[in-house]
A and B are shown apart, each in its own frame.
Chain A
Amino acid sequence: MIRGSDTMVNLVAWWAEDFMYAYPEHSVAVRGGGSGTGIAALFNRATDICASSRSIREEELQRAREMNIDIQEHVMALDGIAIAVHPDNPVDELTMSDLRQIWTGAYTNWADLGGPNLPMTVLSRDSNSGTYVHFQQYVLGENDFARTVRFMGASSSLVMELASNVGSIGYVGMGYVEDEEAVKVLAIKEDEDAEAVRPSIESVQSGVYSIARPLYFYTEGAPGEVAQLFIDFCRSEQGRDVVLETGFVPVAE
């Protein structure tokens, strides 16, 4: 039984299907419900593996210690986070520091970045999303989002607003912005002197493009025999192909 992240539910279901085809003697059940639900299920021993699109929180680890549960973390894949704007926006690249200024509210107009005089509409995923937490931690340096940031419940509606609003900027899993006509994905520079890099399978895998969140499996203690077999399968050549098919990036070997 595998429970957890809705972001990963397609990926995990695909893995499970191929796994059961390869090992017909084992059966794997997959359920979504969110990373938090999965972690709670792990604590209640209601699941063998928890799929999570965010790393386990301090308060959850605290609870695990109280319940004397040893939590093990397995990085299964990466999700590159693309920074995207409207196709008519002349800006092509930004630095990490620009991103921090934009989402913490220091920049409010594209003119602040040398672009046209156009008010910025800054978009974010809502706080239930693993992407939100990763972006806040990694890009904003644990600072808060500005209060004027618009929060979108779903990645698809965020992309829709990006495609229709000239002044908008948002971040979203790179699987959602494959249509280059609808939105423009920006290249990101680590700092002023660095080379601007666009998110791609290679750049995310090698870490040259650094805005990517890991997707995890959590198990209670060492995985059991079947769970270990499954994890090994997901990391095999066949499992990595599934990762690519679902729009994520396999971990470097």
Chain B
Amino acid sequence: MNRRYQRELFVKFVFTAGASTSILVVFLIFLFLFREALPFAWNPGLGELVGTRWMPVTFQQPGYGLIPLITGSLLVTFTATLIAIPFGVLGAVYIAEMAHSVEREILKPFIELLAGIPSVVLGFFGLVVVAPIVRDVFNLPSGLNALTGALLLALMAIPTIISISEDAIRAVPLSYKEASMALGASRLQTIWKVTVPAAMSGIIAAIMLGMGRVIGETMAVLMVTGNAPLVTANLFEPVRTMTATIAAEMGDVTRGAPHYQALFWIGVILLMITFIINWVAQRVLRRYQR
């Protein structure tokens, strides 16, 4: 009996350790980012980060203002999410509720394929195909801007939104739909008035996860957004995102220099934004579940 209890305890310990690994890893990453970033607080001081001039490699006074990078990331992320929502949600509704099983067999692998395209490949596609189209359609001097980046990122978010929303829609109990139909509602009325609202928490979680994918994406935006550190809400202007800045500049900074530490501050802020998105998603989920 005692031996069995010990074994029970051991197994429980293994599972607890497994479950807590991710907490530990996130904590360690945060600690590491913070440790590398911290000396910036004394020299040249945190006030430097609250500026609109990002010009770290210069013969003049270097500028470490993170505001253009934060606004750049937010502009691209929100636009991409807004573009992805209708495609993602409508697609999920269609696949879950309306498509014949043959159509589903064809659609699903392609959506999964879209999710699996490496972002460099998508970036290359953006540079060669999407950017010239955006330039010609909107009659702009250049297609390397926030809109092109948002379009590519929407392509990346759509598969995530579709597959998770679809699961949520399918999880709605059949009895709900049967009740709605029995009351005389049409199929479309049932979908919009019963099924989708019942699946709303899952759909919102899907959108949030899509957004999480978008804000952390690096390679595709680095290739097509033009990377000029401007503070702008104009989608036709180039923007420099936080992720692209880290990717582009980390390779050649002097370790321990203010520029190096400023890049780690970007990492800290990016991580905090991701935390906030997740936290909001959890709150929304809980409210809908009630």
Q: Do chains A and B interact in one complex?
A: yes
In the bound complex, residues from chain B placing their C-beta under 8 Å from that of A210 are: none
A119–B228 contact, CB under 8 A? no
A-B pairs, 7 with minimum CB distance:
A142-B59, A150-B226, A127-B57, A151-B227, A119-B141, A121-B142, A128-B252
B72 at the interface (CB under 8 A from A): no
Q: How far is the CA of A83 from the CA of B1 in the complex (A)?
A: 82
Is B238's CB within 8 Å of the partner chain A? yes
Judge whether A151 and B226 touch: CB under 8 Å: yes
**Residue from A33, A36, A137 within 8 A of B253 (CB atoms):** A36
The number of A-B residue pairs with CB atoms under 8 Å apart is 100
Asked whether B55 lies within 8 Å of A152 as measured between CB atoms, the reply is no
For chain A, the count of residues having a C-beta within 8 Å of the partner chain is 43
Residues on A close to B: CB < 8 A? 6, 33-37, 39-40, 57, 59-60, 63, 118-121, 126-129, 132-133, 136-137, 142-145, 147-154, 157, 160-161, 164-165, 167-168
- B141 near A147 with CB under 8 A, answer no
Contact A147 B228, beta carbon cutoff 8 Å: yes
**Chain B interface residue number, banded:** 35 or more
Interface assignment of B230: CB less than 8 Å from any CB of chain A: yes
Residues of the A chain whose Cβ atoms lie less than 8 Å from the Cβ of B31: none
Hey, which bits of chain B sit against chain A, CB under 8 A? 53, 55-60, 127-128, 131-132, 135, 141-144, 222-223, 226-230, 238, 240, 244, 247-255, 257
Question: Are B228 and A167 neighbours in the complex by a CB distance under 8 Å?
Answer: no
Name the one of B127, B249, B257 contacting A127, with C-beta atoms under 8 angstroms.
B249
CB distance from B149 to the nearest CB of A (A): 12
Please determine whether B228 and A36 come into contact, CB atoms closer than 8 angstroms: no
Contact B142 A161 (CB under 8 A): yes
In whole angstroms, what is the CA distance A165 to B228 when docked?
Answer: 17
Tell me which residues across on chain A come within 8 A of B254, comparing CB atoms: 36, 39-40, 57, 59-60, 63
Q: List 15 A-B contacts (CB under 8 A).
A: A60-B254, A63-B254, A121-B144, A128-B248, A128-B250, A132-B57, A142-B60, A149-B228, A151-B248, A153-B244, A160-B127, A161-B144, A165-B135, A165-B141, A167-B141
- B238 with A136: CB separation less than 8 A: no
